[in-house]
Structure 1
Amino acid sequence: MVRTFGIGMDYSPSSKAALEWAINNLGEDGDHVILIHVLSTKSDSAHKKLWGKAGPPLIPLDEFKKVCNLYGFTPDAKVLSFLDTVSRTKEIKVESKIYWGDPEKKLCAAVEDLKLDSLVLGNRDLGKFKRALLGSVSIYVVTNATCPVTVVKGTPTSRP
């Protein structure tokens, strides 16, 4: 049975840890992994205007490497290399989805939009005070998502 799981990705150490954990603990041959990027609404990308808040369609890993700078960000080369290896060795289909807006709401919308079986997020570990002021994406998503959500604490231990 093919499963589809999403990984919230902003290339921070915690999102890299989430990616590594998801691949090592969830990823099996034939699965479908979708990296979910949520960009700021302040982004002035022409592509944002073209695709709107829903973002472009799913972007295959090969194409993502080529087009991400068009969307105003540069991904981590080690992460892309890791995903390329995983896609070949575990035969996992890797794609990316880009949204614009509030990460909490867009990650929950992605669960429905992409029909995810599960979602994996990193935890920035802000501490109680900062979390009270800034809010917590992971708490919001765990509370509101309609699929199982795993929050991974820490930093990656190997490649990404």
Structure 2
Amino acid sequence: MASELMIVGIDDSTESMYALEWTLDKFFVPYSSNHPFKLIIVHAKPSPASAIGFGGPGAIDVLPIVEADLKKIAGRVSEKAKEICNSKLVNDVIIEVVEGDSRNVLCEAVEKHQASILVVGNHGYGAIKRAVLGSVSDYCAHHAHCTVMIVKKPKIKH
């Protein structure tokens, strides 16, 4: 029986799916129910307002369309995560989709579930892009109240 809890944060990027696969390969033995961790996968779905910004008069008409699109993306991300887990023969997984900024959603999930480890992927942004866009992994490393493992996808050498 798993005594500790691990959260893997995912989005629709190849980097986060790589982090999930890497985690399953390293910590979850196929055909075994005696894993060292219980696994929760968390996807942060942006709110429609944050996805379109605070636009002009027509923005209110677009919100339902954006919300439907964000739900489709969240469904696709969740299905992809389930497929990866099933392919690695790990079936005892909880997948949560939570609306909000991914930085806050992941840190709040750590608190809510009292997780021991948070695993996130790394997009490999440079310093300028990271400063402008913000880095979820950097934020979580500084604010999550648990060990944070940042998984980097290896670069393909030519």
Q: Does 1:149 align with 2:148?
A: yes
Identity %, equivalent residues = 30
Report the CA distance between 1:36 and its aligned residue: 0.4
Counterpart CA distance in 1 for 2:118 and 2:108 is 12
Aligned residues: 132
Other-structure match for 1:80: 82
* Unaligned 5+ runs, structure 1: 49-68
After superposition, the C-alpha distances for 1:128-150 in whole angstroms (9 at most, x for unaligned) are 11111111111000001011110
1:3-37 CA distance string (max 9 Å, x none): 32111111311101110111111225344211101
Contact 2:11 2:43 in 1 (8 A): yes
CA distance 1:11–1:75, shift in 2 (3 Å) = same
2:52 corresponds in structure 1 to none
Query: Which protein is richer in helix relative to its size?
Result: 2
Match of 1:54 in 2: none
Letter of the structure 1 residue corresponding to residue 39 of structure 2: V
> Is the Cα contact below 8 Å between 2:6 and 2:119 reproduced in 1?
yes
- How big is the alpha-carbon RMSD for the aligned residues of Structure 1 and Structure 2? 2.7
- Specify whether residues 95 and 33 from structure 1 end up closer, same or farther in structure 2 by C-alpha distance, changes over 3 A only: same
Equivalent residue number for residue 125 of structure 2: 126
TM-score by length of 2: 0.71
Match of 1:99 in 2: 98
TM-score by length of 1: 0.70
Deviations 1:90-140 (A, max 9, x none): 5x5111111111111111001011221211000011111111111111100
Q: Secondary structure of the equivalent of 1:125?
A: coil
Q: In the TM superposition, what whole-angstrom CA distance separates every residue of 1:12-63 from its partner, at most 9, and x where no partner exists? A: 1110111011111122534421110101111767xx9xxxxxxxxxxxxxxx
Q: Distance in 2 between matches of 1:145 and 1:99?
A: 17
Call closer, same or farther: CA 1:98–1:81 in 2, change over 3 Å: closer
Q: CA–CA distance in 1 between the matches of 2:83 and 2:93?
A: 12
2:24 paired residue number: 23
Q: Secondary structure at the match of 1:35?
A: strand
2:122·2:152 contact (CA, 8 Å) conserved in 1?
Answer: yes
In structure 2, stretches of 5+ residues that fail to align are 50-62
Higher relative contact order structure (alpha carbons within 8 Å, sequence separation ≥ 6): 1
